[in-house]
Amino acid sequence: MKKFLKWFFIILTVLILAGIVALSFYIGSIYTNASKISLDNAKLSAPFTTIEIFDSDNKLIKEDNTVNENFAEISTLSPDTINAFISIEDKNFYQHHGVNYKRIVKAMLSNLKAGKFKEGASTITQQLIKNSHLTSDKTFERKITEIALSKKLEKQYSKEEILQQYLNIIYFGNNCYGIENAAQYYFSLPASKLTLEQSALLAGMIKSPSKYSPIKNPEKAIERRNLVLSEMEKDGKISPEEATLAKNKDLGLKVESKHKNKLNSYSQAAIDEAEELLHLPAQQIALQGYKIYTYQNEKLQNDLEQALLKNHPSSNYAGIVIDNKKHSVVAYNGDGNYKILECKRQPGSCIKPILVYAPALNEDIIYPCTQLLDEKTDIAGFSPKNVGNTYHGYVSARESLSKSINIPAVKILSYVGIDKAKKYAQELGIEFDEKDEGYCLALGGMTYGVNIAQLAGAYTAFANKGVYSAPRFISFIADKNGKIVYTHSTLEKQVLREDCSYLLTDMLKTCTQSGTGKKLAALDMPLASKTGTVGKSNSKQNLDAWNISYTPQLTCGVWLGNLDNTAIDYTGGNQPTEIVKNFFSKNKTTEDFERPSSIVERKIDTTELEENHRVVLANNFIPERYTKDELFSIFNLPKNISKKFAEAPSPLIKSKVENDQAVLVFNANEYMTYQIYDGNSLKSEISNKNGEQKLSLPMEKERKTLKIKWFYTLSPDIEEEKEIVFVKTKSKPYNNKRWYI
């Protein structure tokens, strides 16, 4: 046994040593190859960079697509500004030669202990190399290349030159590359005028610009800023008194409105998409000369911008137009303090077609004419309410959707099942948090919500016969030599049956005629629409207002609200619908949605629908006035045929003698005629009445026989009758004899 263990450890040691040698050789080869790479001085010294972005006609988009238009000389920056970045990012910046090996070992041990990638160990030099020369991929090879180029950079440039370029290339969120742009965006002043607390705030942001955004997450931004100040105090760069004073200052933001439109422009959205596709930051996309060719349609872009401008929204806003067939964003415009496409908002009732009605139609659970009881209800502990606490009794699924009635939507979701409904929505591009589980989802109650591209993108499937593909801004990307490096290839999937998409669209067309989107009826064109409004809990104020509308060719979505969650005073049926109306008034079409062969028109019995809330097909005997044409999928036709007008239904009859009167009580239907005879004498005829009817006739004798006949008013040939005998009951004489005698 001892001999076996001896050989086991010898072999294990040899394998470990061989692995170390192989790894060392692998690292060495990567390092050697990386050392041969020449530094691109143009990428390290460019004072500003611009990305060329083209529209669908290959014309240069006339927007400011400068990624870094302002450059800060390090000699103009205060010591506090420089020290803030060094204290939080690279304390030994002036001591190392590009790489801090002690810090790398410490980070590796920390990550191994945590069981995940928790800490990085990049120096300022390494960060500059990564942002100017490499992709953002987290690979071992990229890290070795980064180290090799960092050491080379330290030999060719001074510490001041490295720090200067680093401060002018790093990302501060909200489309701000470089400290000069960040200072002007967040504080409306040059970088040379930054105070201690402002410098600490910016230095703290660069670890995660979104997480520590002073606009989006002010509490976390202050916490991070104060950590930077503590590190500066620890390093002896500021006194305890200076640190305390700075920590007690507020954020002091002064974001000017002139920055907002640029931030949320079509070009910015295209740049963000290019970063995702090329795995490169915008700075490198610009430095390497990539050209981005988009789907933007100049006319549609102008029409959308004018529609938004005409209605003068006093809040933040976003509008998007998508080509349904090409799954491409042909127009986009937004206004806000940070990128609206990165923000998720509650969709309100605009989620109902996606999460509730489309799945229910596709699962053959409802017809457009299905009757649903709108009443106070409780489903699994959830008690939904309608707007104004108004309840409508039985309503059709079509009316419920078009008028955005809440309770029927929650009931339908319960019929479909939350998990199944979410799968449909996910296939239409909607993302859910793990906490999104309750029936409040039917009303748009999500943990985070959706952005306007996701929501409008889902609706394109309804216009596109159930086929979905995520909408994109970019058609293709070429490098500086004109070689195409990316082409948009749509990945389509059939999420809904064609017939179900048509039925849902037809229901949403009703919304434009008589529902919450009825402002659009004046356009007099084939248009499907849905509005949505999100209110503050326990308040009559609103937070978000939506309208998503589509024709066979285009889907237009509009969101209004405030990203800081201050209230707005309008609903989805107001300003957002007016904006959509203004846009489509300039893009009218006569082309209607193509009806698939799997959609048929059938007559249903309206008397059965009104009385028993059942959808049954009309038979051939039912008069026209008691039928209605409805659309159905051939895969989900009503199974029952009405018996009305084929046989006369017996009314529920009650009879009694009261005060020498023969009293007859029965339930009448408006399409029936009822005749009451005393012998051969017609005493009463009742027609066109619903509900309980009561008739009293005098009892001249001890016994009376009445006859009631009933027949369909429009089909008197089908007749039934019944005789009812009334008998006076004689009261027994009173017996005054005592039983015990």
Q: Do residues 693 and 669 touch, judged by C-beta distance below 8 A?
A: no
Rounded Cα distance between 285 and 270, Å, is 12
What single string gives the DSSP state of each residue in 217-260? -HHHHHHHHHHHHHHHHHTTSS-HHHHHHHHTS-------THHH
Distance CA 500, CA 596 (A): 10
* Helices assigned H by DSSP within 311-375: 352, 358-362
Tokens describing residue 599: 């959609």
Question: Which segments of 345-385 are extended strands (E)?
Answer: 371-374
Q: 96: helix, coil or strand?
A: coil
Residue corresponding to tokens 């409904």: 421
Tell me if residue 688 falls in helix, strand or coil: coil
Helix (H) or strand (E) holding 513: helix 498-514
Burial, 257: exposed, middle or buried (Cβ in 10 Å; 0-12, 13-18, 19+)?
Answer: exposed
In 450-497, alpha helices (H) = 452-463
Between CA 157 and CA 129 the distance in angstroms is 12
DSSP code of residue 193: G
Phi, psi of 226 (to 5 degrees): -65, -30
- Residue 233: phi, psi to the nearest 5? -65, -40
Q: Please give the C-alpha separations between residue 84 and each of 197, 201, 245, in angstroms, as whole numbers.
A: 9, 9, 16
* Catalytic residue, candidates 349, 469, 529, 549: 349
- Is 687 annotated in the active site? no
Which CA distances in Å does 655 have to 466, 632, 666, 725?
Answer: 58, 44, 9, 9
Instruction: Report angle CA 604, 605, 610 to the nearest 5 degrees.
Output: 120
Indicate the SS3 state at residue 62: coil
169 is written with which tokens? 């290339």
What does the alpha-carbon distance between residue 606 and residue 474 come to, in Å, rounded to a whole number?
51
Q: Report which of 244, 514, 256 is spatially closest to residue 400, judged by C-alpha positions.
A: 514
Q: On the CB side of 175, how many CA atoms lie within 13 Å of its CA? A: 30
Distance between CA 400 and CA 557 in Å, rounded?
A: 21
The reply to whether 136 belongs to the active site is: no
Q: How many CB atoms lie within 10 A of CB 286?
A: 23
Q: How many CA atoms lie within 13 A of 140 on its CB side?
A: 8
The catalytic residue among 56, 87, 89, 213 is 89
> Does the CA dihedral 435-436-440-443 come out positive or negative?
positive
Q: Is the distance from CB of 89 to CB of 203 less than 8 angstroms?
A: yes
Distance CA 603, CA 652 (A): 28
Of 206, 469, 237, 458, the C-alpha closest to 350 is 458
CB 132 within 8 A of CB 43: yes
| Residue (of 401, 404, 444, 451) closest to 429 by Cα position | 451
Contact 653, 708 (CB under 8 A): yes
Token pair of 584 as six digits:
């489509």
In what helix (H) or strand (E) does residue 575 lie, and over which residues does it extend?
helix 575-585
Q: Which residues are the active-site residues?
A: 89, 349
